[in-house]
Structure 1
Amino acid sequence: MAGHSQFKNIMHRKGAQDAKRSKIFNKLAREITVAAKSGLPDPAANPRLRAAILAARVQNMPRDRIDRAIKQGTPGGGDDANYEEVRYEGYGPGGVALIVEALTDNRNRTAAEVRSSFTKYGGSLGETNSVSFMFNRVGAIYYPASAADADTVFEVALEAGADNVESDENGHEVTSTVENFGAVRDALEAKFGGAESARLTWRPLNTVAPSEDAAASLLKLLDVLEDNDDVQVVEGNFDISDELMQKLTA
């Protein structure tokens, strides 16, 4: 399991995620509300909102819950909380670099909770930019294999300005620079429909293979961080083998 793949990053916790469906919906709803507040409440005219709605649909979030989240983000919609986008950086067990992105209405609370989680599981929270230099900020767009064949996705993506396309039996991941992300996403959407996921992410320059003990602690830390209501995304530069992952999650 490589930390740079958001899709592989969550596979081992699929069962746990199913058990926390309501918590996942809360995170998705918060992103939808913030996206609606940051622009027009019309997904056709608001790419961030459109991506948030698509992510919610992938998780089978009920339509009425999506609509309610959009309404809360519109003037007079009832959500007066001012959410801030905050990034935390630090090292987890085994020297793994981690970047935690959050949406919070209380920076002090979230910082304290994230710091406590790092400390509890053998990590240490650092200053901003303490580990982000080990990552590239890129746009990542994911389509299921059923969207199109690999050659077609490759041609459309590269023509739109993408940097790379990786395809396998599960799907296609298209990456681009931050600057080209919008154009690539829009070109793919026009050809193949809405993506299963489309967002800016952190891609590590190199990966770290933690020991079994460190990997076990790391997975506990990831679970606690992702269980936090304010945390939206956790990225890392870890690479855990499939064999070790199966052993740790058996």
Structure 2
Amino acid sequence: MSGHSKWSTIKRKKGVADAKRGAIFTRLAREIVISSREGGSDVDSNFRLRLAIDKARAENMPKDNIERAIKRGAGEDKDGTVFEEITFEGYGPHGSALMVTCVTDNRNRTVPDMRHAFSKYGGNMAEVGAVGWQFDRKSYFAFPSSQLSFDKAFELGIVVGADDVVDGGDTIDIYAPVESFKTIADALHQVHVHPDEAGLRMIAKQEIELDVDSTLKFMKMVEAIEELDDVQDVFHNVKVSDEALAALEAA
């Protein structure tokens, strides 16, 4: 399950985020808008919003952009733009399954863009529910092990009711029930841990393992989908082996 966080770390090291700063700001702003719209603009009572703002600050997003996104979500900025969340389900090559979450202001743009990205790499879109049953929705946190040792993270996980705490070397991953998200986030905050990633994720109930070449081709598909403007997250059931991670890092 830790392959995703390892690949995210590799992408950060390769500077992919810096090369697409504008796209990242757009994605972060949309997450702030949706969070503010659903839970209000008070960061003390709306943890999803607090998390979205923390992510934006970590990417050096300008303060004015953050405040404008909060106001837009709360209905204080009447710019006429209405965003909605959409989850797409689909199949990739070699029996792979994907769940894609989007935030869009134009469904008629997003749907064909998504369909094209799937078909270009040998995949296809699926009906609602056709793929979702293969995934469990869980709270997910990933943070550097330099901030908290695995032993202490494991102890914290037991106290807050985590399902699993994974030692990934440089990174520690915590998986927990959805309803435990705020409890774990607050517990990490109290011990001065600042997650690189935190949110609700779709975790595959059963992963499939491909050979290195097939994994590389599959990850190209994932990257192509991730690069679409409206995409927030991509989840899949492919286990990325250490050999495939090394090949991805060298690419």
TM-score (norm 1): 0.89
Whether the 8 Å CA contact 1:117–1:225 is kept in 2: the answer is: yes
- 1:60-81 Cα offsets, whole Å, 9 max, x none, are 3333332332233233324432
Considering only aligned residues, what root-mean-square deviation do their CA atoms show, in Å? 2.2
C-alpha separation between the residues in 1 aligned to 2:106 and 2:77?
21
Residue number in structure 2 paired with 1:228? 228
Residue number in structure 2 paired with 1:243? 243
C-alpha separation between the residues in 2 aligned to 1:146 and 1:243?
25
- 1:181-238 Cα offsets, whole Å, 9 max, x none, are 2222223223335433221101112222234453343222212211111110001111
Residue number in structure 1 paired with 2:98? 98
- Give how far 1:12 is off: 4.3
The one-letter amino acid paired with 1:115 is R
- Give how far 1:49 is off: 0.4
SS at match of 1:45: coil
Change (3 A) 1:155 1:222: same
Of 4, 7, 10, the residue aligned with 1:9 is 7
The one-letter amino acid paired with 1:10 is S
- Structure 2 residue runs of 5 or longer lacking an equivalent are none
The one-letter amino acid paired with 2:40 is L
Whether the 8 Å CA contact 1:101–1:231 is kept in 2: the answer is: yes
Residue number in structure 2 paired with 1:61? 61
Higher relative CO (Cα under 8 Å, sequence separation at least 6) belongs to: 1
Alignment of 1:3-152 (within 5 A): 5-14=3-12, 15-152=15-152
Asked if residue 155 in structure 1 is aligned to residue 155 in structure 2, the reply is yes
Whether the 8 Å CA contact 1:54–1:195 is kept in 2: the answer is: no
Change (3 A) 1:77 1:200: same
C-alpha separation between the residues in 2 aligned to 1:197 and 1:216?
23
The one-letter amino acid paired with 1:134 is Q
Stretch of structure 1 that moved more, 85-94 or 204-213:
204-213
C-alpha separation between the residues in 2 aligned to 1:164 and 1:192?
21
C-alpha separation between the residues in 2 aligned to 1:124 and 1:133?
17
Change (3 A) 1:21 1:87: same
C-alpha separation between the residues in 2 aligned to 1:37 and 1:6?
29
Whether the 8 Å CA contact 1:90–1:98 is kept in 2: the answer is: yes
The one-letter amino acid paired with 1:7 is S
Stretch of structure 1 that moved more, 25-34 or 191-200:
191-200
Residue number in structure 1 paired with 2:217? 217
Change (3 A) 1:5 1:56: farther
C-alpha separation between the residues in 2 aligned to 1:144 and 1:101?
25
SS at match of 1:198: strand
Change (3 A) 1:179 1:96: same
Report percent identity of matched pairs. 38
C-alpha separation between the residues in 2 aligned to 1:139 and 1:62?
28
Change (3 A) 1:170 1:79: farther
Residue number in structure 2 paired with 1:177? 177
Whether the 8 Å CA contact 1:143–1:172 is kept in 2: the answer is: yes
- Structure 1 residue runs of 5 or longer lacking an equivalent are none
Alignment of 1:192-211 (within 5 A): 192-211=192-211
TM-score (norm 2): 0.88
